[in-house]
Amino acid sequence: MTISPIHREDGGRAHRPSATCPITALMLLSIRRSVRSRLLLALLILCAGTITFVPLAIRGDGTPEGYLLVFVRYALGGSMALLSVAAIWLGCLAIDAEFEQGSSELLFSKPASRWSIWMGNLAGAAIVLTAVMLLAAASVYGLVRLRIFSVAAEPEEKSLLRERLFVARRIVCPRQEDYRVRASRLLEKLDRNRWIGAGMARDEALRMLQYALAVRDASLAPGQSRTWIYDLDNGLTGDHAVLLKFRAVGPTHGAAALFLDWTISEGLSGRTLLEKQIRCLPGREETIVIPAAAAGGVRLLSVRCTNPRVNRTPLTFDPARLPWLEIYAGGFEANYLRSVIILCANLVFLCSIGMLSGCIFSLPTAAFTSLWWLLMVNLAPYFHTMAGKRFIFYSHHEVKSAPTFWDNLFRLFFSLLDRLFYPLRITDPLQQVVEAHSIPWSQVFYEVLFKGVAAVLVMSLVAALILSRRQYIRNP
């Protein structure tokens, strides 16, 4: 008795066993093509050269923080820049090469949808780029640990380095007053006394008053004090020290050292945790270490800063960057892994942009279009800033009371660019790793789901529509 490979059901329809998934087959074909063309080897050599020669060219300041900056920010960042260009180029070649070589008719005659062909090629290119990125990140991590811990010979020094450098901390900012109410009352008083110019718009004057009140509250004359309150939702565990960082700004005519008296207490009127006088230079970031034993169990922290009369000069803090706390939130390895995941998601996103451009244009035009998109995405923070401005064009000869037609037109233009490119902006997680700032998982999920999944799916549907209407063989 022979068993037929074709099984019939009611109705006489024939069902053959399912073949290999088209996306998987095209993905494996794309990977094999990358290996045979020595593209993978070239990317590995370029990244290895960057990781090797960048630390030799940039020496740093000789401190562990300097080594971490050179290896992670510059060496791995340089590898990411090379892989970004390679992702765009590889994406442009993935589909356009089939048309240039005349093999598009054979490719699109296979029993696979246009969407499957596009996704299969993208998956293969993404796996190659991700593999190179992971190898580069692993190499940088090994070199960082080898170089930094070779400096510290004593176990106490290594423990201090792990506590200070190989950590991830979250930032806690102090409570800030909403100055809109105070600014509105002050504006009404000034308006009654006719101290507001007739040519100044009311909302512009309100913003200026809010900023002036914030600067006044952040300033300290000799003998004055300021207190900031920090809400610690889950409390401090007491296993790790807490860092209080600040940057004071003095008069512009001198850069003499200033002395500041700091008192750190639990709650509004609780026990004093630390009293310390700090000698600081204006404009330089300073750090106060709150011992772990003293900070354990604290849920509300008050910090009082006093400008002694011995300074004989006022000082101020940036209202947008008041003294902040940095609290332990995890280890360096987990934070470093989150940054690498974000970088891999950005590579997949850039490769998909190149593939979409390759479906529309020929190779030179597709590469130029992809680089133009990359430039626009990097300019997204500028578009976001310009879209929030009320006046685009300023004049030193007249005071505007209301936006002109050109102001509204260009603000609408920047608003459209902001809506289009700001969600796709390229972030820099390596800077957060170098500064020991924790990368939240919410940021990782946003980068992966929005750029690596949602944006790629939208571009895949557009590419499938374009491929269904494009000729298989390019006319000479």
| pLDDT tens digits for range 375-399 | 898 888 899 888 888 777 765 555 5
Other CB atoms closer than 10 Å to residue 257's CB: what's the count?
11
What residues form DSSP beta bridges with 169? 328, 437
**Letter for the amino acid at 28?**
L
By percentage, how much of the chain surpasses pLDDT 90? 27
Q: How confident is the model over 270-293, as a mean pLDDT?
A: 86
Vertex 439 angle, CA 434 and 442, to 5°: 165
pLDDT for 3: 42
Tell me 174's DSSP state: P
Radius of gyration of the chain (CA): 29
**Letter for the amino acid at 205?**
A
pLDDT for 399: 54
Residue 209: closest CA among 189, 184, 226, 177: 184
Q: Which CATH number fits domain 220-322: 2.60.120, 2.60.40, 3.40.720, 1.20.1300?
A: 2.60.120
- Better-predicted residue by pLDDT, 402 or 217: 217
What residues form DSSP beta bridges with 42? none
Residue 119: closest CA among 458, 364, 421: 458
Distance CA 224, CA 309 (A): 8
Residue 23: closest CA among 124, 145, 173: 124
Domains of the chain, residue spans: 20-166+332-364+438-468, 175-217, 220-322
Is the pLDDT score of 262 beyond 90? yes
Burial of 446 (0-12, 13-18, 19+ CB in 10 A): middle
pLDDT for 77: 92
Distance CA 130, CA 179 (A): 48
pLDDT for 19: 46
pTM of the predicted protein model: 0.82
pLDDT for 464: 86
Cβ 346 vs Cβ 245: under 8 Å: no
The tens digit of pLDDT for each residue in 15-74 reads: 443 445 778 888 888 888 888 878 888 899 999 999 999 888 887 777 778 888 899 999
Residue 210: closest CA among 187, 179, 185, 236: 179
**Letter for the amino acid at 310?**
V
Q: Give the H/E segment covering residue 167.
A: strand 167-172
The tens digit of pLDDT for each residue in 452-466 reads: 899 999 999 998 888
What are the residues whose beta carbons fall under 8 Å from the beta carbon of 12, sequence distance 6 or more? none
Is the pLDDT score of 1 beyond 70? no
Cβ 317 vs Cβ 247: under 8 Å: yes
pLDDT for 9: 43
